[in-house]
A and B are shown apart, each in its own frame.
Chain A
Amino acid sequence: MSKSPETQYPHKALGWAATDTSGILSPFHFSRRENGDDDVTVQILFCGVCHSDLHTVKNDWGFTTYPVVPGHEIVGVVTKVGNNVKNFKEGDKVGVGVIVESCKECECCQQDLENYCPRPVFTYNSPYYDGTRTQGGYSNSVVVHQRYVLRFPDNLPLDAGAPLLCAGITVYSPMKYYGMTEPGKHLGVAGLGGLGHVAIKIGKAFGLKVTVISGSPYKEAEAIDRLGADSFLVSSDPAKMKAAMGTMDYIIDTISAVHSLTSLLSLLKLNGKLITVGLPNKPLEVPIFTLVAGRKLVGGSNFGGIKETQEMLDFCGKHNITADIELIKIDQINTAMERLSKGDVKYRFVIDVANSISSL
């Protein structure tokens, strides 16, 4: 007879979970495991609201198991470390991102690419090795193997830094891997939401010229004046799109709705690269002629390995890069999810966990 979420582990925890495909979240009592020799217990202070959280609570991708506590942009303070933990101590500011466990033995894990391990355990909605399911950061605590805990830069604010744990690494990783970091080159950022706005900041820090490609003309002033983009291209303006054809070296496509790649691909130069990091739930149409005639590529990327995530955090610390956030209390989460589904946020909600999910 399997134990209930409250009793399966020894330490009580409180979070907010979705219980069905309506995606409505409500208080949920569960429990966290004993802090093992390799574990770090984190009292959660802030958690970013990622679009993946919304997809998961509504079962858009078809693999949600309810009840699910979402949240994988976690920032908090260490309250306990296991005997084998040397790199963290009580009081340290740390982050936890998309992954909390992997096999540690495969070629990917051995190359610091835990994100490509064939047996990953994600921070929420994932079967853990002991048969239970992981619950995420819309909660007051989490216990994580030390390998998957990140040092949070001293100089960055905890709340605005939380989205880096997913949004940050999700754009940083492909930019490094696909060689999209040559100063002076031209980066297009398609979509201006959580991922897109961080891509602008990281792109500028790499010395790139950055153009935002968006269907929302009203976002232009903000994109240029506040976020630092060099230019703004309205994707629904055929004349402007035509004028911009063949001008970009790279595109990070953060759009999570289904969209045609035809017009985006036309913006690329010869050998141009379009990396998709939004995850539309239906296939996208790709015109093969455009790929063949310009030797262009469409590539994918999946958040990042732990070493790379730490590198990204340190890079953001050095360049003072954080997300632009709207801080909310947990009881505003359902309204926030609604607004997120309409793209009505500049540019990431972050839950003030410490001040709204009361500890037990």
Chain B
Amino acid sequence: MASKAEVEHPRKAFGWAARDPSGHLSPFNFSRRETGEKDVAFKVLYCGICHSDLHMAKNEWRFSIYPLVPGHEITGVVTEVGSKVEKFKVGDKVGVGCLVDSCRTCQNCSNNLENYCPQFTLTYGAKYKDGTITYGGYSDSMVADEHFVVRIPDGLPLDVAAPLLCAGITVYSPLRYFALDKPGMHVGVVGLGGLGHMAVKFAKAFGAKVTVISTSPNKKEEAIQHLGVDSFLISRDQDQMKAAKGTLDGIIDTVSAVHPLFPIIELLKSPGKVVLVGVPEKPLELPVFSLLGRKIVTGSSIGGMKETQEMIDFAAEHNVKPDIEVIPIDYVNTAMERLHKADVKYRFVIDIGNTLKSSS
């Protein structure tokens, strides 16, 4: 007997889903909606594995809806466009990131800040305006409103482009908004994973000097030789951290585990900014004295659609390409385990086009 997910929409779809908080993913038949007049339908070729996918698959944020098809770093080729679609045509290379809808009328939406709309709809695990649950990019097809689709320029291969749709925009947006994109600035990046390595690449492309702050000494050589990092601090080494005190204009903190803010704030010049893009599940301690030198602690969440397109175009023009490990779909559970141990340089990308095949 077909499940609700299989029949609620007219078009068959196939993906891999988590069924419960074990987070284990397995084949899943479901369906996608008819391509509406403003919709873009595309064949998914690649999907990045974001750490959020792991958190959601395991219900760590306590709002997961099962079955859950993760994936919000999705790239592919357009197969159909609705009658009112203006920006895309069949055959175009496109991508979808973390959002598939927003209210479109509030002040934030009107200012290209869909990511701050109080009623945005996430690409997976969220309730869409038609009452159904959204399913993400670990699947063979996607349908999304044109407004939430971005064009992937020719200079960017689709596998490499995928992580830009979440990791890329999540660090690009605050580097721009908080004016940490001026040549000659000294920018720190805490954590060297998917987000962190993108922050390094964008900051270097902006002409900054980059210091990575990490708990893992074994990442140092790669960071310097391969990523072009200018210096590397082990956060537990108090002497190193002390020597770097007051040297950074701004810091992008990508760490989502609970961690001390004080040693990071101390690295800032006065004035200086720490921007958190990881979300620890407990509040962090903020020693107010450390902020006296006009230092700020702030946060940022993905980016608006206009900004996401701008970021993709910038990445294509300036050769900012994520470092990826392409995997077949049936490796995904192992990849999740390795991701949990931060054993990846620096983003897994699922080769959907070549390896996700429905058995039916």
Residues of A within 8 A of B (CB): 108, 116, 177, 260-262, 270, 276, 278-280, 282-302
Beta-carbon contact of B284 and A286 below 8 Å: yes
Given A116-B270, A292-B300, A293-B299, also A298-B291 (CB < 8 A): yes
Interface size classification for chain B: 20 to 34
Given A276-B291, A297-B297, A300-B293, also A292-B277 (CB < 8 A): yes
Whether, in the assembled complex, B63 has its beta carbon less than 8 Å from a beta carbon of chain A, the answer is: no
| CB pairs A–B below 8 angstroms (24 shown) | A261-B286, A270-B108, A270-B113, A280-B288, A283-B286, A285-B286, A288-B283, A291-B297, A292-B279, A293-B301, A295-B298, A296-B298, A296-B299, A297-B298, A298-B286, A298-B296, A299-B294, A299-B295, A299-B296, A300-B288, A300-B290, A300-B291, A300-B296, A302-B292
Nearest chain A CB to B166's CB is how many angstroms away?
14
Instruction: Given contacts A261-B286, A295-B301, A297-B298, list 18 more A-B pairs with CB under 8 A.
Output: A108-B270, A116-B293, A276-B291, A285-B285, A285-B286, A288-B280, A291-B298, A292-B301, A293-B299, A294-B116, A294-B299, A295-B300, A296-B299, A299-B296, A300-B288, A300-B292, A301-B294, A302-B294
Beta-carbon contact of B297 and A302 below 8 Å: no
Beta-carbon contact of A116 and B294 below 8 Å: yes
- Enumerate the 5 nearest inter-chain pairs by beta-carbon distance, A residue then B residue, closest first: A300-B291, A292-B299, A291-B299, A297-B298, A299-B296
B residues less than 8 Å from A116 (CB atoms): 270, 293-294
Nearest chain B CB to A281's CB is how many angstroms away?
9
Of B116, B294, B299, which one neighbours A300 at CB under 8 angstroms? B294
Given A295-B301, A301-B294, also A276-B288 (CB < 8 A): yes
Q: Which residue of A lies closest to B107 (CB)?
A: A270
Nearest chain A CB to B100's CB is how many angstroms away?
18
A residues less than 8 Å from B301 (CB atoms): 292-293, 295
**Bound-state Cα–Cα, A184 to B265, Å:** 33
Q: Which residue of A lies closest to B170 (CB)?
A: A292
B residues less than 8 Å from A285 (CB atoms): 283-286
- Beta-carbon contacts under 8 Å, B100-148 to A: 108, 113, 116
Beta-carbon contact of B294 and A284 below 8 Å: no
Nearest chain B CB to A14's CB is how many angstroms away?
33
Whether, in the assembled complex, B10 has its beta carbon less than 8 Å from a beta carbon of chain A, the answer is: no
Nearest chain A CB to B306's CB is how many angstroms away?
16
Beta-carbon contact of B276 and A297 below 8 Å: no
A residues less than 8 Å from B331 (CB atoms): none
B residues less than 8 Å from A296 (CB atoms): 298-299
**Bound-state Cα–Cα, A294 to B302, Å:** 11
Of A177, A287, A294, A302, which one neighbours B283 at CB under 8 angstroms? A287
Beta-carbon contact of A288 and B177 below 8 Å: no
B residues less than 8 Å from A270 (CB atoms): 108, 113, 116
Whether, in the assembled complex, B155 has its beta carbon less than 8 Å from a beta carbon of chain A, the answer is: no
Of B279, B284, B287, B296, which one neighbours A297 at CB under 8 angstroms? B296
B residues less than 8 Å from A284 (CB atoms): 285-288
**Bound-state Cα–Cα, A130 to B280, Å:** 48
